[in-house]
């Protein structure tokens, strides 16, 4: 029993470490691009990164979650996973086509948006079965491989002194597909982890029932809407500002770097929800001390970010024109509100009301787009838009949580 607990703990640490590594590798790639490209080029690369993460990871992570549940329940799940991925891929291509005018970089960038959607779909398609069968070593490896591919590409472009923006974007677009190619050559669904010597995996008996053969797509769509809208709230403000500052690339790059650094706590949001869900699903209420601790941490983050984030942006991304301090403070405040919103969201998800959470985030996203695209000046509009979105989401989640 003790050995099994240790193995599970090691697998959890392995998975968490791999996801942190992927996020860190993307930040490192952006930092290298900031020092290697001109401000306009960096603004285009960072806007692509934020947009493809919003649509790509936001949509296809929902397929991974649903496939994980299906496989863990004893069904193979791949038929439904392929069907759901196909539906969401069409949706992703439509959304990216609508968002293409927000990107600079010409036709090549638009093509790479479509390529990025396909590669992300492939990467999340293989993760669901691995997680469902508790093959966490292989699951974590997909993130490690993607992280390594992105870093390797950035290093190569630096060595050859490549200064074409589209080529740097291509690294972000193609790195997700490396893991499916590598794992597809080494892994077959019917081969056990012990036969492959995969000691990081937690084994479970192989299941061979027939596919579910028609699992409803509605739960996947609600989950995708929730993930897509929440990603959009935290990612799209810099994209909107960059699109409206095409003639002021240095200003756009400064705002983007600060916004990317300020959003770092967003990476912890899935962990907060994962820790709360088991307790809330069992009927317990949200711990008041946790809410107080999260609120206090948010206040600390606002103070810390206002002072430290411009310094970090200059040190890591070579930013020469950071936005005013009030912009940093407002962005940090929106992140603090979003952290509290994660607690309210966990309550709704535990109560099997993901549609209510999705509608709250969609409302916030609409507010961000409306303010960020229509108000002036662009940086202030994007900043206020993100704060308005976070406030709307938090309020809507709290109200929904009070309803029976």
The DSSP letter of residue 268 is: G
Q: In whole angstroms, how far apart are CA 343 and each of 66, 72, 294, 339?
A: 22, 26, 9, 7
Instruction: Please state, in angstroms and rounded to a whole number, the distance separating the CA atoms of residues 81 and 86.
Output: 8
Instruction: Please state, in angstroms and rounded to a whole number, the distance separating the CA atoms of residues 245 and 145.
Output: 35
Element (DSSP H or E) covering residue 13: helix 2-36
What is the predicted pLDDT for the residue at 192?
42
What is the CA angle 199-202-204, rounded to 5?
125
Burial of 393 (0-12, 13-18, 19+ CB in 10 A): buried
CB 105 within 8 A of CB 44: yes
Please list the pLDDT of the chain residue by residue as tens digits (404 residues).
444 444 555 566 777 788 888 888 999 999 999 988 988 889 889 989 998 888 888 888 887 877 777 776 665 566 777 887 888 888 888 888 888 888 876 788 889 988 999 999 888 888 888 877 878 888 889 999 999 999 999 999 999 988 889 999 999 999 999 999 998 765 554 444 444 444 444 444 344 444 444 566 677 788 888 989 999 999 999 999 998 988 888 899 999 999 999 988 887 777 677 667 667 766 777 777 877 888 888 899 999 999 999 999 999 888 888 899 999 999 999 999 998 898 888 888 877 888 899 999 999 999 999 999 988 899 999 999 999 999 999 999 999 888 76
- Classify residue 60 as left (phi > 0), alpha (psi -120 to 50) or beta: alpha
Residue 30 is encoded by which pair of tokens? 């952006």
Residue 143 is encoded by which pair of tokens? 């993130």
Q: What pTM was estimated for this model as a whole?
A: 0.82
Residue 235 is encoded by which pair of tokens? 């990612």
Closest alpha carbon to 271 in 334, 202, 337, 342: 342
What is the predicted pLDDT for the residue at 240?
93
What is the predicted pLDDT for the residue at 132?
76
Phi, psi dihedral angles at 225 (to 5 degrees): -60, -40
Element (DSSP H or E) covering residue 329: helix 325-350
CB 65 within 8 A of CB 131: no
């Amino acid at each position: 029993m003790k050995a099994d607990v240790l193995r599970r703990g090691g697998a959890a640490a392995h998975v968490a470490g791999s996801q942190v590594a992927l996020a860190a590798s993307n930040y490192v790639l952006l930092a290298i691009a900031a020092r290697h490209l001109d401000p306009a080029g960096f603004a285009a690369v960072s806007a692509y990164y934020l947009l493809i993460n919003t649509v790509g990871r936001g949509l296809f992570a929902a397929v991974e979650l649903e496939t994980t549940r299906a496989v863990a329940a004893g069904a193979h799940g791949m038929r439904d996973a392929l069907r759901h991925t196909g539906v969401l891929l069409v949706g992703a291509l439509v959304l990216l086509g609508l968002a293409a005018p927000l990107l600079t970089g010409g036709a090549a960038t638009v093509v790479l948006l479509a390529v990025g959607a396909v590669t992300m779909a492939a990467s999340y398609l293989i993760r669901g079965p691995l997680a469902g069968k508790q093959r966490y070593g292989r699951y974590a490896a997909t993130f490690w491989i993607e992280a390594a591919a992105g870093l390797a590409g950035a290093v190569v472009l630096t060595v050859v002194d490549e200064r074409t923006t589209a080529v740097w974007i291509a690294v972000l677009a193609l790195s997700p597909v490396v893991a499916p190619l590598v794992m597809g050559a080494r892994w077959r669904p019917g081969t056990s982890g012990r036969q492959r010597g995969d000691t990081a995996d937690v084994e479970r008996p192989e299941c061979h029932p027939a596919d579910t053969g028609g699992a409803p797509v509605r739960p996947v769509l609600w989950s995708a809407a929730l993930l897509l809208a929440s990603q959009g709230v935290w990612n799209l403000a810099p994209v909107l500002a960059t699109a409206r500052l095409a003639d002021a690339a240095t200003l756009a790059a400064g705002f983007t770097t600060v916004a990317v650094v300020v959003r770092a706590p967003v990476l912890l949001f899935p962990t907060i929800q994962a820790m709360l869900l088991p307790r809330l699903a069992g009927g317990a209420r949200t711990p008041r001390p946790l809410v107080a601790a999260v609120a206090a941490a948010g206040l600390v983050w606002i103070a810390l970010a206002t002072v430290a984030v411009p310094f970090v942006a200059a040190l890591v991304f070579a930013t020469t024109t950071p936005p005013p301090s009030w912009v940093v403070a407002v962005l940090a405040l929106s992140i603090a509100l979003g952290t509290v919103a994660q607690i309210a969201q966990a309550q709704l998800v535990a109560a099997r009301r993901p549609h209510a959470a999705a509608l709250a985030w969609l409302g916030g996203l609409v507010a961000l787009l409306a303010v960020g695209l229509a108000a002036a000046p662009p940086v202030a509009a994007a900043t206020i838009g993100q704060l308005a979105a976070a406030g709307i989401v938090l309020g809507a989640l709290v109200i929904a949580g009070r309803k029976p």
